[in-house]
Amino acid sequence: METVKTGLTKRNIWKLLDIPIIAAGFFIILPLLGINRTTDFIIFCVFVLGFNILYGFMGRLSFGHMLYLGTGAYTITLFSEHVSQNPLLAILASLVAGALIGVILGPIIVRTTGACFALINLAFCQVGYFLVLVAFSRYTGGEDGMSAYFSKLSFLNFGNRYIVFGFVLFCLLLTYYLLKKFTSSPFGVLIRSIKENETRVKFLGYNTFTYKWVTFIISTTVSAFAGALSILNYGYATPSFIDPSRAVEVIFAALIGGSGSLYGSIIGGVVYMAISNYLASYVPRWEMFLGFALLVVVFRFRTGVWGFFMGLLNRKRKALAR
């Protein structure tokens, strides 16, 4: 019998401890991978979170999410070049840009579903890539990219690797916390219902368009946030931040982790980054390996690594209860 749990039961404690656990996890892998790689991993996890809010929770697979990452990356770079070198203001600007692109493209994109949704995102990403690479190459530096410089803010000196690491980790935890609040709110329940059956949600009298649009804007904003953080880390923006052919990375990460789970997104991000960072140096034909791994995930582990372990755990728990 499932009873309503109040106060600090055993399970609630685990749920409250998730943020310290994530933080501890990254501090554990920090000495193993070195500071640069760990920072990379964390930023990628932010991106996976932004992608998964759309894919895992609302059931819309976007094949062009690099566009929103690139929007953040180029906004922060251009902002630091032309307006102000204050890093926090620049990040704020790229968040606004990310939200804005969601507001503008949202009404066109969220009306579609399935393959059409994936491809129209891809098409817009292709347009964005072209704009950055060719049309506005005078401002973005084209293929060569451009560097970004940020001024010191009392203790926030982004020249120091450890400060960057701490700041980025803080950003990940903040994003995680906000998205957790978002997905467990009635709004979050509603977008999950849209994933299950949109017609029924409409039938209940909800205007699903607005909910989908808002979720889309949240997703683009978080993705732009990840883009801004990567520039903070690298200090250099190149068209690879908006390259449509890299879209599969984040999809794969979300799949490994298991869509529809925030924990899973972070695990998937870390696992994917580990694969792509280390596999390429050990396995010569790593693209082929990635292909077979994807096929195995699609045909065998639909719920991803995290979902697979949760399933095992639940089965054990049920067996024990019996």
Partner 1 sequence: MIQTIAYGLTIGGILYIISIGLSLTFGTMRIVNFAHGFVYTIGAYLLISALPFVRDNFFLGAVIAVAAVIPISYVIERFVIRKLYGVSIDYAIIATYAVVLIGVDLTKWIWGASPIPLSDPIGHDISLFSVTLPMYRVLIILLALVIFGALTVFFKKTIVGKIVTASLEDKDAVKSLGINVDKYFSIVFVIGSCLAALGGVLYAPITSVHPYMGMMVLLISFAVVLVGGLGNIKGTFVSAFVLGLVMAITGRYYGPAAETMVFVVMGIVLIFKPVEV
Q: Which residues bind partner 1 (CB under 8 A)?
A: 55, 59, 61, 63, 108, 111-116, 118-120, 122-124, 126-127, 130, 133-135, 245, 248, 251-252, 255, 285, 287-288, 290-292, 294-295, 298-299, 302
Q: Give least dist CB 115 to partner 1, A.
A: 4
Report which secondary-structure segment, H or E, holds 215. helix 208-234
Euclidean distance between CA atoms 87 and 213, whole angstroms: 29
Euclidean distance between CA atoms 239 and 251, whole angstroms: 19
Cβ-based nearer residue to partner 1, 130 or 236 = 130
Q: Is the dihedral of CA 192, 195, 199, 200 positive or negative?
A: negative
Total H helices, total E strands in the chain:
16, 2
What would the two tokens of residue 27 be? 């501090």
Cβ-based nearer residue to partner 1, 50 or 64 = 64
* Three-class SS state of 237: strand
Q: Give least dist CB 176 to partner 1, A.
A: 24
Cβ-based nearer residue to partner 1, 58 or 237 = 58
CA 158 to each of CA 2, 313, 322: distance values in angstroms, whole numbers, following the listed order? 49, 42, 55
Cβ-based nearer residue to partner 1, 155 or 292 = 292
> How many Å separate Cα 107 from the centre of its chain?
21
Cβ-based nearer residue to partner 1, 16 or 295 = 295
Long-range contacts of 177-180 (CB under 8 A, 24+ apart): 177/19, 179/49, 179/53, 179/218, 179/222, 179/262, 180/18, 180/262
Cβ-based nearer residue to partner 1, 100 or 131 = 131
Q: Give least dist CB 137 to partner 1, A.
A: 10
Euclidean distance between CA atoms 71 and 249, whole angstroms: 17
Q: Give least dist CB 152 to partner 1, A.
A: 40
Cβ-based nearer residue to partner 1, 82 or 285 = 285
CA 233 to each of CA 73, 91, 121, 253, 277: distance values in angstroms, whole numbers, following the listed order? 11, 12, 27, 21, 17
Q: Is the dihedral of CA 56, 61, 65, 68 positive or negative?
A: negative
Q: Give least dist CB 297 to partner 1, A.
A: 8
Q: Give least dist CB 201 to partner 1, A.
A: 17
Q: Give least dist CB 97 to partner 1, A.
A: 20
